[in-house]
Chains A and B, each alone.
Chain A
Amino acid sequence: MVRLEDVGMVRLNPKGEEVAILAGISFSARPGEITAIVGPSGGGKSTLVRFVNRLDEPTSGRIWLDWEDVSALDPLQLRRRVGMVLQKPFMFEGTVLANLQRPFLYRNAPPPGAGSGEVLGVLELARLSPELLERDARTLSLGQQQRVSLARALITGPQVLLLDEPTSALDRPTSDRLAATLQEICRSQRLTVILVTHDLRLAERVADYLLYLEGGQILEEGKTEDLLIRPKTAELVRFLAEPEE
């Protein structure tokens, strides 16, 4: 469970004045559910999700992971409990197996082998064939690379998974298949998933709960079907009518 409490972010503009990028953000994301943050680009969605694993720090408010304040947690420990998949899959030099072993190297733990339960387990979750393990990760298709980054984020056994526009680099059919996989993982592992996307179709397909973020504020939130069928604000109505590609 992740809970944000009145989270805000203020930056200085070139004139040296304070500008609120995000203000008064409060919501909870529950285990076994996908909470999607949707809205137009530049609305602060990606910035918001980066606070949860402390890639960035908010200037106000608190974020709770279960009953712990994340700002009091060691960021390295926190990032093992909160996995993240970024927009463009980045593959480290070497094989798929070497990529999956990375998180273990970072904490000086012995890396699991190709036949280990950890490796086979995440491959199955991410719907990747074990035959790919010895392939050079950078030669895989974008869709496969994104699945490898998903498997790599899952291998430390996180309780939360953050997804920042995970399908934006993928074509529609690949994106749909990945969405189905995400949904399965979220349910089977009872993961708390926070998905950031400007792709309404993806949100509609996978999200249980939806937050509409525009201009740094949550303008609407609710169950996905309620929000999409009965939008209350003019902004969401407009966004639904003219979604960004």
Chain B
Amino acid sequence: MAAEKVVTLELVDLALAYGLILIAVGLARMERIGQEKQMLWASARMVLQLIAVGYLLHLVFAIRSPLPVLLMLLVMAGFSLQVMGARVRHRMPDFYRVVGISMFIGCGGVTFFLCSLVISYTPWYDPRYLIPLAGMIIGNSMNGASLAAERLSAEIRERREEIETALCLGATSRQASEMAVRTAFRAALIPTMNTMAATGIVSLPGMMTGQILSGTEPIVAVRYQIAIMCAITGAVAITSFLILLQGYRHYFTVAHQLKESAWKG
């Protein structure tokens, strides 16, 4: 079956859709929640940001060269790193380096694997594939990674007695922080597990919905969705694992001593 042409939304249609936001603002005003201005501001930002990214993508698609595609991915990764830095309350020492390296290996590796071995399209930098796929992988890994980093820091603080008892009994810092690392890794994986379990029943994933809307056969869209879910799970696991593997070391000295900064403040 040939893909049907997707219905184009005209400005009038968008204005009509925006009416729904005005209804939301109206309701907020009626209930006096005092968030009307923020809602309008947020919706304006949403519109502007999407238009901007739309033109940017249009440009990147038109140039058809690897450089702007890679640049765009780099900017996306940079922003996600910055968002994470702001979100994580207790940042581990050397946070940006640890998380940056882990995301580069985890997300970069999985994106490469998915694009070149699973989907195997050409050219490798085709922005139609690379940008949305890498974007989804980076976005999801960011969530997993911030959970891992946040949880590790909290676990080390809460488990000070356990860790120091283990050190006193001759444990290495790796052995002493084993439970903290394990709990943080579990916490990082839970949202992805939940999403996987709920996919298709509780919600239709955004990418699949988008593909169906643009005329792709649902069966094809589902296959893509399965592949991307697998990739996201892999990327979240690898990124979080790498963060924890490097991260725990920063709480200890080379002489297997728990640093004071790990449990104070």
Is A106 within 8 A of B170, CB to CB? yes
**Which chain A residue lies CB-closest to B163?**
A90
Q: Does A200 contact B (CB under 8 A)?
A: no
Q: Which of B154-168 contact A (CB under 8 A)?
A: 161-162, 164-168
The yes or no answer to B65 lying at the interface (CB within 8 A) is no
Residues of B in contact with A, size category: 10 to 19
* Residue pair B168, A92 in contact (C-beta under 8 Å): no
Neighbouring A residues of B170 by C-beta, 8 Å = 76, 79-80, 103, 106-107, 156
A to B contact number (C-beta, < 8 Å): 55
* Subset of 20 A-B contacts with CB under 8 Å: A54-B257, A55-B168, A55-B257, A75-B256, A80-B170, A83-B168, A86-B161, A86-B164, A86-B165, A90-B162, A92-B162, A103-B169, A103-B170, A106-B166, A106-B169, A106-B172, A149-B165, A153-B168, A156-B169, A156-B170
Chain B nearest CB from A33 CB (Å) reads 22
- What distance in Å separates the Cβ of B6 from its nearest Cβ neighbour in chain A? 56
- Interface flags for B159-187 (1: CB within 8 Å of A; 0: not) read 00110111111111001000000000000
Asked whether A88 is an interface residue with its Cβ less than 8 Å from the other chain, the reply is yes
Tell whether A84 is near chain B: CB-to-CB under 8 Å: yes
Most buried by B among A55, A80, A149, A156: A55
In the bound complex, what is the Cα–Cα distance between A55 and B161 (angstroms)?
12
Q: A79-B170, A156-B169 are in contact. List 8 more A-B contacts (CB 8 A).
A: A54-B255, A76-B171, A80-B170, A92-B166, A106-B166, A106-B171, A106-B175, A156-B170
Residues of A within 8 A of B162 (CB): 90, 92
Q: Which residues of chain A (78-105) have a CB below 8 Å from chain B?
A: 79-80, 83-84, 86, 88, 90, 92, 102-103
- Chain A nearest CB, measured from B193 CB (Å): 23
A contact set with B: CB distance below 8 Å = 53-57, 75-76, 79-80, 83-84, 86, 88, 90, 92, 102-103, 106-107, 149, 152-153, 156
Which residue of B has the minimal Cβ distance to A54?
Answer: B255
Contacts of B175 in A (CB 8 A): 106
A236 CB → nearest B CB, Å:
30
Q: Judge whether A53 and B172 touch: CB under 8 Å.
A: no
- Chain A proximity mask over B233-263: 1 for CB below 8 Å, otherwise 0: 0000000000000000000010111100000
Chain B residues with Cβ below 8 Å from A153 are 168-169
Chain B residues in 8 Å Cβ range of A76: 170-172, 256
**In whole Å, how far is B74's beta carbon from the nearest beta carbon of chain A?**
37
Q: Report A193 CB to chain B, min CB distance, Å.
A: 15
Nearest-neighbour CB distance to chain B for A88, whole angstroms, equals: 6
B88 to chain A, nearest CB (A): 23
Question: Which residue in chain B gives the minimum CB-CB distance to A89?
Answer: B165
Q: Are B257 and A56 in contact (CB-based, < 8 A)?
A: yes
Compute how far the CA of A55 lies from the CA of B255 in the bound complex, rounded to whole angstroms.
8
Contact of A88 among B161, B169, B253 (CB under 8 A): B161
Cβ contact within 8 Å between A90 and B171: no
> In the assembled complex, which residues on chain A have CB atoms less than 8 Å from the CB atom of B172?
76, 106
B169 touches A75 (CB 8 A): no
| A79–B167 touching, CB < 8 Å | yes
- What are the residues of chain B within 8 A of A156 when measuring CB–CB? 169-170
Flag if B167 contacts A90 (CB, 8 Å).
no
Inter-chain contacts of A84 with B (CB < 8 A) = 168
Question: B167 — nearest CB in chain A belongs to which residue?
Answer: A55
* Distance A76 CA – B172 CA, assembled complex (angstroms): 7
Q: How far is the CA of A149 from the CA of B164 in the complex (A)?
A: 13
**Contact between B255 and A57 (Cβ–Cβ < 8 Å)?**
yes
Query: Once bound together, how far apart are the Cα atoms of A83 and B169, in whole Å?
Result: 7
Q: How far is the CB of A98 from chain B (nearest CB, A)?
A: 13
